[in-house]
Amino acid sequence: MALKLADYKTDVHNDWCPGCGDFGIVNALQMALAEMGIQRDKAVIFSGIGCSGKTSHYINTYGIHTLHGRVLTFAQGAKLSNPNLTVVAVGGDGDGLGIGAGHFVAAGRRNIDMTYIVFDNGVYGLTKGQASPTLKLGEKTKSLPTPNTNYNVNPIGLAVTSGFTFVARGYSYDVRHLKDLIVKAVNHKGLSFLDVLQPCPTYNDINTRDWYAGVDLAKESMERHSRIYKLEDTGFDPVVHVAEEAEVNEKMAQALIKSLEWGNSIPTGIFYQNEIVSPYSERMIDKIPNYLENPPSVQNISQNGLPTTDISKLLDSLQV
Amino acid sequence: MGSIDFSWLIGGPQGSGVESGANVFSKVCAEMGYHVFGKREFYSNIKGEHSYFTVRVSDQKIHSNVNDVTLMASFDAETIFRHFDEVAAGGGIVYDSDLEKTTTDDVPTLDDYFKERLHKFLESKNKPFTIPGVLEIAKEKGVHLYPVSFKGLLADLSEKTQNPKLRGLVRMYNVLGVSLSLGIIQMPVASLLRSLDSIFAKKPLVAEINKQAAIFSHDYATEKFVGFSHSLSGNKKEPDTILVQGHFGTAMGKMVSGCRFQSYYPITPASDESVYLESHELLEVKNDRPGSTLVIQTEDEISAMGMMIGASLTGVRASTSTSGPGFALMAEALGWAGINEVPIVITLYQRSGPSTGLPTRHGQDDLLFAVHAGHGDFPKIVYASGDIEESFYDTGRCFNYSDIFQIPVIHMMDKFLSSSVVTCKRFDPQKITIDRGQLLEKTDGEYKRFAFTDSGISPRSRLGLDNGIFWNTGDESDEYGHITEDPQVRIKMMDKRMSRLDLVLKQISQDEQVVSFGVHDYTVISWGSTKGPIIDAIELLKKEGINIGFIQIKLLHPFPADYVKSLLKDAKTIIDIEANHSAQLGKLYNQNVLGDIDYYILKYTGRGMTSTEIYDSLKKIVQNKANKREILSHGA
Within a domain: A197: yes
* Tens digits of residue pLDDT in B108-138: 999 999 999 999 999 999 999 999 999 999 9
Q: Which residues of chain A from 241 to 300 reach within 8 Å of chain B, CB to CB?
A: 284, 287-288, 290-291, 293-297, 299-300
**CATH topology of B5-224 equal to that of B512-632?**
no
Within a domain: A296: no
Q: Residue B106: CB partners within 8 Å, gap ≥ 6?
A: B77
Within a domain: A299: no
Is residue A180 within 8 Å of A4, Cβ to Cβ? Answer: no
In this complex, the residue of A66, A290, A309 whose CB is nearest that of residue B289 is A290
pLDDT value at A1 more than 70: no
- Among A223-237, B141-155, B157-171, B498-512, the minimum mean pLDDT is found in B157-171
- Going from N- to C-terminal start, the domains of chain B cover 5-224, 244-431, 438-508, 512-632
Residue B33, CA distances (Å) to B70, B139, B330 in order: 19, 32, 43
Containing H/E element for B552? strand B548-553
Alpha helices (H) in B426-559, listed in sequence order: 487-507, 510-513, 531-543
Q: What is the three-class DSSP state of A180?
A: helix
Q: Could you give the angle at which helices B112-124 and B131-141 cross, rounded to 10 degrees?
A: 50
State the DSSP code for B544. T
* Tens digits of residue pLDDT in A293-310: 999 999 999 999 999 999
Residue B603, CA distances (Å) to A145, B84, B466, B633 in order: 53, 23, 54, 7
State the DSSP code for A142. T
How much is the pLDDT for B480? 98
How much is the pLDDT for A225? 84
Integer-rounded Cα Rg, in Å, for chain A is 21
pLDDT value at A127 more than 50: yes
Q: What are the φ/ψ torsions at residue B241 (nearest 5 degrees)?
A: -105, 140
Within a domain: A137: yes
Other C-beta atoms within 10 Å of B628: how many? 9
How much is the pLDDT for A45? 98
Length of chain B, please?
Answer: 636
Within a domain: A162: yes
How much is the pLDDT for B1? 42
Q: What are the φ/ψ torsions at residue B304 (nearest 5 degrees)?
A: -55, -40
Q: What is the three-class DSSP state of B126?
A: coil
Within a domain: A13: yes
Q: What are the φ/ψ torsions at residue B594 (nearest 5 degrees)?
A: 60, 35
CA-CA distance, A130 to A142, in Å (whole number)? 9
Residue of A nearest to B240 (CA): A319
B191 residue type, one letter: S
How much is the pLDDT for B444? 82
Residue A57, CA distances (Å) to A94, B42, B210, B443 in order: 20, 51, 65, 21
Q: What angle do CA B178, B72, B34 make, to 5 degrees?
A: 60
In this complex, the residue of B258, B287, B465 whose CB is nearest that of residue A301 is B258
* Tens digits of residue pLDDT in A135-191: 999 999 999 999 999 999 999 999 999 999 999 999 999 999 999 999 999 999 999
Q: What is the three-class DSSP state of A80?
A: helix
- Interface membership of A219 toward B (CB under 8 Å): no
Average pLDDT, chain B: 96
How much is the pLDDT for B75? 86
How much is the pLDDT for A203? 96
How close is the nearest chain A Cα to the Cα of B539, in Å? Answer: 26
Among residues B142, B140, B141, B118, the alpha carbon closest in space to that of B130 is found at B118
In this complex, the residue of B252, B332, B434 whose CB is nearest that of residue A314 is B252
Report domain B244-431's class: alpha beta
In this complex, the residue of B243, B282, B429 whose CB is nearest that of residue A288 is B282
B432 residue type, one letter: I
Residue of A nearest to B316 (CA): A297
Q: Structural domain of residue A159, as residue ranges?
A: 5-287
Residue of A nearest to B400 (CA): A305
* Tens digits of residue pLDDT in A264-279: 999 999 999 999 999 9
**What is the strand order of the sheet B599-603 is part of?**
B514-516, B548-553, B522-526, B573-578, B599-603, B629-632
- Interface membership of A73 toward B (CB under 8 Å): yes
Give percent above pLDDT 90 in chain B.
95
Please provide the CATH number assigned to the domain covering B5-224: 3.40.920.10
Is residue A195 within 8 Å of A309, Cβ to Cβ? Answer: no
* Tens digits of residue pLDDT in B589-614: 999 999 999 999 999 999 999 999 99
CA-CA distance, B509 to B271, in Å (whole number)? 31
Within a domain: A258: yes
Among residues B387, B381, B369, B342, the alpha carbon closest in space to that of B508 is found at B381
* Tens digits of residue pLDDT in B232-241: 989 999 999 9
How much is the pLDDT for B562? 98
CA-CA distance, B178 to B94, in Å (whole number)? 10
CA-CA distance, A232 to A238, in Å (whole number)? 9
Containing H/E element for B144? strand B144-148
Chain B CB contacts of A56 below 8 Å: 471, 473
Mutation to test the B interface, candidates A33, A52, A105, A318, most B Cβ within 10 Å:
A318
- Interface membership of B446 toward A (CB under 8 Å): no
Q: What is the three-class DSSP state of B308?
A: helix
CA-CA distance, B395 to B432, in Å (whole number)? 9
- Interface membership of A66 toward B (CB under 8 Å): yes
Size of interface A-B (CB pairs under 8 A): 241
Mutation to test the A interface, candidates B197, B241, B292, B424, most A Cβ within 10 Å:
B292
In this complex, the residue of B30, B241, B434 whose CB is nearest that of residue A307 is B434
Q: Which CATH number fits domain B512-632: 3.40.50.10860, 3.90.1640.20, 3.40.50.300, 3.40.50.920?
A: 3.40.50.920
Among residues B219, B226, B214, the alpha carbon closest in space to that of B177 is found at B214
Q: What is the three-class DSSP state of A272?
A: strand
Contact between chains at B426 and A315 (C-beta distance less than 8 A):
yes
How much is the pLDDT for A224? 66
Contact between chains at B469 and A60 (C-beta distance less than 8 A):
yes
- Segment B614-624 mean pLDDT: 98
Chain B CB contacts of A60 below 8 Å: 469
Chain B CB contacts of A293 below 8 Å: 289
How close is the nearest chain A Cα to the Cα of B291, in Å? Answer: 7
Give percent above pLDDT 90 in chain A.
96
How much is the pLDDT for B446? 87
Contact between chains at B318 and A81 (C-beta distance less than 8 A):
yes
Tell me the CATH number at A252.
Answer: 3.40.50.970
CA-CA distance, B192 to B176, in Å (whole number)? 12
pLDDT value at B41 more than 80: yes
Flag whether the ipTM exceeds 0.95.
Answer: yes
Enter the pTM of the model: 0.97
Q: What is the three-class DSSP state of A158?
A: helix
Domain total in chain A: 1
CA-CA distance, A129 to A199, in Å (whole number)? 12
Residue B453, CA distances (Å) to B115, B244, B456, B497, B511 in order: 66, 44, 5, 11, 28
